[in-house]
Amino acid sequence: MTNGYHIVVCGSVVPDPLQTLEPIQTPTGPALKNEMMLPAVLDPWAAHALYEAANLTSKGAGSNSKVWLVSVGPKAKLQQVMMTIAQRVSFELVPVDSTASGFADAHSTAALLAETIQGIAGLDRSRLLVFGGWESASRGAGVTMQLVGERLEILDQFQGVDQIRIQADGSFEVLERIEGGRHQVSVCQGPPAVFGWATGNLPEPRNNPQVGMANMRTVMPALQRAKPVPLPTGGLHFLSASPPKQQRQTRVVKDLSAEQIAQEIAEWIGK
């Protein structure tokens, strides 16, 4: 049986999905117009990973468990997002003041994350679970977690995870998304392991001001201590970055009966 987990969640900030995004060219490559002005949220998949980590530590994983949130992003944006996230679940923030751009190189980001994780004081590798999103709403490459895992020399990796079930012997059953709306089922003997989460099954936790106050005692000092770190381009060159321009001429049909519409759709489906 486990003596508790040390769960490190990797998660960054992304622009609020409802914002309009416009790429611009800068001397260092593409960026988003008014990027620092756009409201940000914790990346949706990383947020699921964080909620799953909190759930795992609260249910039967032992009181010795602990959750760290390692987050690479501009300090001001991290602070803004923490005001919300810190009220939901308990964690210790490990911020890295660097770019969270979707145009940044995944290899450089992974190197920075791995180095930061290795620098966490008191982290026990024999109890280590590295969580994160299997994709992101920025770069969306789905490669960062694997690269972090390789750098940490963790060979048990799972992507598109929707569920982890801890078994009596300390092993865990993992459900990973595969093609056709199915899950692959695996059993892993135990930590260390890397999990790139899909959406899981948990609802968003409710805001809890007490949790928020407890978190903020460590979040604010951690943010103040975070030093800016430049992220190398890693030999990645952008030749262009542009929004899709396709605009369809929509035919709006208002005057047909349900039967006529059904007839038209049936013919269209059958073509």
Partner 1 sequence: MSQNILFLAHVSEAGNTLPKASYEVLGAALKLSRQLGTRLTIGLIGGDVSAAAETIAGAGADRILAVAGPDFSSARYVSDAAAAEAICRSAEAELILAPATSRFMRVLAGVAHRLNGCVDTHVTTLEAEVVPGDVRATRWHYRQRIEGVIRRDARPWIVLLESGCHAAFTGMPGAAQVEQIPVTLPKAATRTVVTGTRAPKSDVQTIRPDADLLFVAGAGWTKKQADGKTHLEQAEPLILDFLRVSGASLGGSKSLVDQTGESQAVLGFMTHLNQVGQTGSTPRHPKGLSTCCHGEEPHVVGWRFINERRAVNLDPNCGWARGKADVLYVADAFEVLAKLNVLLAQRSRTSPGLAPQGALVS
Return the residues of window 102-131 that contact partner 1 according to CB under 8 A.
102-103, 106-107, 110
Alpha-carbon span 177 to 154, nearest angstrom: 20
Using rule CB under 8 A, residue 57 touches partner 1: no
Please tell me the distance from the alpha carbon of residue 160 to that of residue 183, in angstroms, as a whole number: 9
CB of 178 to partner 1, least distance (A): 4
β 40-42/23-26 pair status = unpaired
Closest CA to 59 of 217, 166, 186: 166
Residue 225 CB, shortest distance to partner 1, in Å, is 29
Q: How many residues bind partner 1 (CB under 8 A)?
A: 88
Q: 121 or 269, CB closer to partner 1?
A: 269
Closest approach of partner 1 to the CB of residue 159, in Å:
4
**Which residue among 2, 4, 23, 124 contacts partner 1 (CB under 8 A)?**
23
Q: Which range touches partner 1 (CB under 8 A), out of 2-10, 64-72, 133-141, 207-215?
A: 133-141
Is 4 among the residues that bind partner 1 (CB under 8 A)? Answer: no
CA gap 192, 169 in Å, rounded: 15
Q: x/- string (CB under 8 A) for partner 1, residues 77-106?
A: -------------------------xx--x
Residue count of the chain: 271
Strands 40-42 and 6-10: unpaired
**HEC letters along 114-179:** HHHHHCCCCCCHHHEEEEEECCCCCCCCCCHHHHHHHHCCCCCEEEEEEEEEECCCCCEEEEEEEH
Residue 142, Cβ density class (10 Å: 0-12 exposed, 13-18 middle, ≥19 buried) = middle
Residue 187's closest CA among 154, 220, 165? 165
**232-261 residues near partner 1, rule: CB under 8 A:** 234-244, 247-254, 256, 258-259, 261
Residue list 186-205, contact with partner 1 (CB under 8 A): 186-190, 198-203
Least distance from partner 1 to the Cβ atom of residue 214, Å = 25
- Regarding 168 and contact with partner 1 (CB under 8 A), the answer is no
| Rounded least distance, CB 228 to partner 1, Å | 23
Per CB under 8 A, the list member of 185, 224, 228, 232 interacting with partner 1 is: 185
